[in-house]
């Protein structure tokens, strides 16, 4: 068992982290919301689910492993463990008690990285638009860029970490841009403009002759207050686009991706 994963679990216990408890039953899993309570007798105490007392008793008797999962930062933590016994009226605090289950401390704890950047399509009629310029390493993002360095861009999709774009060249030629170029990216939405530094990823399509379909990855934004404010606004835009996408799905205007 990786020590790091065990440490994540123990820290989550100290914070009384919310969990999903999955109880096996007839070849299926019954999922219940629960919470980590404390360490006890070398195991982990969790809040007992309501309404499945008979199943819980059977699982205790047969020592059948149950599955616990919860989120911790960028990771989803999952482990399986049998229930040792039922604890009635465990004192949560001076005024509250809960029924609980004592799980054996897991022999294996898995941590998988969650997808942290939801990517949403940007339809052609969207209010979101983009402008892109190549700039030197010495130029400030706040400086007015040279018009000749602008690369015509059409936004295709967006997440808080970057955008998918179609970059279009002039006079039938491919756009003058490489993965080494430092980019000044302007995201325009609702009369606001966000200025972000980025770089393109590898081109993945050049079927149109004078264009490439690629992505632009934003420079890490959490380093300072201004970056965090921009990140917050990006998340708000992505959220608005996602809500609009769901509305279009409900109206039958677009098909939901499988």
Residues 226 and 142 both lie in one domain: yes
Residue 102 lies in a domain: yes
Distance CA(178)–CA(63), nearest Å, equals: 59
Distance CA(22)–CA(34), nearest Å, equals: 10
> What's the distance, CA 91 to chain centroid?
35
Residues 106 and 74 both lie in one domain: yes
Residues 128 and 242 both lie in one domain: yes
Residue 8 lies in a domain: yes
State the residue range of the domain holding 174: 120-251
Whether the Cβ atoms of residue 219 and residue 183 lie closer than 8 Å to each other: no
Residue 257 lies in a domain: no
Distance CA(22)–CA(57), nearest Å, equals: 14
**Which of 113, 131, 155 is the last residue before a domain boundary?**
113
Whether the Cβ atoms of residue 162 and residue 198 lie closer than 8 Å to each other: yes
Residues 26 and 75 both lie in one domain: yes
Whether the Cβ atoms of residue 87 and residue 45 lie closer than 8 Å to each other: yes
Residues 246 and 152 both lie in one domain: yes
Dihedral over Cα of 157, 158, 161, 167: its sign = positive
Q: Which single residue is written with the structure tokens 């209010």? A: 127
Q: Identify the burial level of 157 via C-beta atoms within 10 angstroms of its C-beta, where 0-12 means exposed, 13-18 middle and 19 or more buried.
A: middle
**Which of 56, 90, 113 is the last residue before a domain boundary?**
113
**Which of 86, 113, 140 is the last residue before a domain boundary?**
113
Which pair of structure tokens corresponds to residue 36?
């980590």
Number of domains composing the chain:
2
**CATH number of the domain bearing residue 93:** 2.30.110.10
Q: What is the pLDDT of residues 38-71, one digit of tens each?
A: 999 999 999 999 888 999 999 999 999 999 999 8
pLDDT value of position 2: 52
Q: Own/partner pairs for 134-139, CB < 8 Å, 24+ apart? A: 134/176, 134/177, 134/181, 134/182, 134/183, 134/184, 135/182, 135/183, 135/184, 136/182, 137/182, 139/182, 139/184
Q: What is the pLDDT of residues 139-167, one digit of tens each?
A: 999 999 999 999 999 999 998 889 999 99
Q: What is the pLDDT of residues 117-126, one digit of tens each?
A: 677 889 888 8
**CATH number of the domain bearing residue 233:** 2.40.10.220
Residues 124 and 247 both lie in one domain: yes
Distance CA(254)–CA(247), nearest Å, equals: 9
Planar angle of CA 84, 89, 93, nearest 5 degrees: 115
Whether the Cβ atoms of residue 37 and residue 100 lie closer than 8 Å to each other: yes
Residues 159 and 220 both lie in one domain: yes
Closest C-alpha among 201, 192, 211 to residue 163 = 201
Residues 127 and 243 both lie in one domain: yes
Residues 126 and 227 both lie in one domain: yes
Residues 92 and 135 both lie in one domain: no
**Mean pLDDT, the chain cut into blocks of 10 residues (258 residues total):** 78 92 89 94 94 93 94 82 94 88 94 70 90 94 92 92 92 88 94 93 66 90 80 86 75 52
Residues 39 and 162 both lie in one domain: no
Residues 130 and 243 both lie in one domain: yes
């Amino acid at each position: 068992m990786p020590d790091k994963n065990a440490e994540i679990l123990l820290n989550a216990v100290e914070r009384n982290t919310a969990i999903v408890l999955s109880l096996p039953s007839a070849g299926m899993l019954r999922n219940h919301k629960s919470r980590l309570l404390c360490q006890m007798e070398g195991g982990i105490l969790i809040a007992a689910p309501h309404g499945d007392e008979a199943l819980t008793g059977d699982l205790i008797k047969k020592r059948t492993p149950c599955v616990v999962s919860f989120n911790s930062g960028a990771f989803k933590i999952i482990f399986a463990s049998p229930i040792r016994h039922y604890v009635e009226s465990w004192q949560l605090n001076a005024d509250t008690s809960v029924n609980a289950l004592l799980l054996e401390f897991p022999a294996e704890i898995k941590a998988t990285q969650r997808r942290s950047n939801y990517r949403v399509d940007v339809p052609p009629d969207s209010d979101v638009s983009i402008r892109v310029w190549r700039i030197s390493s010495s130029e400030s993002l706040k400086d007015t860029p040279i018009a000749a360095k602008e690369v015509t861009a059409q936004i295709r999709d967006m997440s808080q970490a970057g955008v998918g774009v179609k970059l279009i060249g002039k006079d039938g030629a491919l756009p003058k841009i490489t993965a080494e170029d430092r980019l000044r990216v302007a995201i325009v939405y609702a009369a606001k403009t966000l200025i972000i530094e980025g770089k393109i990823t590898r081109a993945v399509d050049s079927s149109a002759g004078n264009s490439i379909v690629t992505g632009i990855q934003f420079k890490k934004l959490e380093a300072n207050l201004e970056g965090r404010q921009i990140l917050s606004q990006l998340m708000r835009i992505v959220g608005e686009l996602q809500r609009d996408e769901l509305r279009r799905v409900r109206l039958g205007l677009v098909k939901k991706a499988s």
